[in-house]
Structure 1
Amino acid sequence: MVETRQNFEERLTTLGRKHAALGNGYTTTLRGDGLIVLKPKRRLGRGFPIRGLLALVTGFFVFKGLMLASLGDITYNERVAKLQQGGHLEQFSSHLMQIDPVTQFAAGFLEPFVD
């Protein structure tokens, strides 16, 4: 009787793991004998969200390009120079906001749409 209960608990645990794996999505395949089998989809990038980081960096460069296109080179550089005069956080942000090739490209692309 005890062995039957342990076997039942093991089967429940296995089914629970399979059910949890299917929670992320699954694909169905038809075997040769006509049985439909569900296979869980793999979770890519389980660790750090690479797409989110890429979207954040892209958005930052688009923002910089939009600011450069709307203010112009001279005004933009004056504002970055004002940031350079401030505290540690402002100095760090001034290094991030300096004009680079990606920002110039984004500004050139966005300039016809500004104003």
Structure 2
Amino acid sequence: MVDAANDFRKRMKRISKKHARLEHGYVAVVSKDGLIITKPKRKGGSFPLRILLTLIVCFVGFKVLLISHLGPEGYAQRVDVLHNGSVLEEGGAWLLQADPVSLVIADGIRKLTL
């Protein structure tokens, strides 16, 4: 009788663990014998690619707004000031240097607002 109770507890523990994993989503798979089995969804990659892409788009958008507001010459002057600063400022100047895509988009925005 004790063995049956222990077996029951082990089975209930195993089922509870499986249900906890299935709470975050599952996929139904048909096994070789035709039985439908639910398996937990696999977690996405460990690196959040969507967040990285969003940050890059926001950063380029920030550069575009600065270039369109200050003009290409004014923006270049401010980036040159950063080039003459500390190592951290030089790194910022390298990141903020005007790229062709930002210049084209900023020029389009300037034409729209004038």
Residue aligning to 1:95: 94
SS class of match (2:23): helix
| Structure 1 unaligned regions, length at least 5 | 29-36
Q: Compute the TM-score of the two structures, normalised by the length of structure 1.
A: 0.74
When structure 1 is superposed on structure 2, of 91-100 and 2-11 the one drifting more is 2-11
CA distance in 1, matches of 2:14, 2:102: 53
Q: Which amino acid aligns with 1:103?
A: S
CA distance in 1, matches of 2:3, 2:56: 57
Query: How far off its partner does 1:2 sit?
Result: 4.1
Whether 2:74 is the aligned partner of 1:75: answer: yes
Contact 1:26 1:39 in 2 (8 A): yes
Query: How far off its partner does 1:85 sit?
Result: 0.9
Residue aligning to 2:105: 106
Query: How far off its partner does 1:108 sit?
Result: 3.4
Q: Compute the TM-score of the two structures, normalised by the length of structure 2.
A: 0.75
Q: Percent identity?
A: 38
CA distance in 1, matches of 2:51, 2:66: 22
| Structure 2 unaligned regions, length at least 5 | 29-36
Relative contact order (C-alpha < 8 Å, sep 6+): which is higher?
Answer: 1
Q: Which amino acid aligns with 2:20?
A: A
SS class of match (1:48): coil
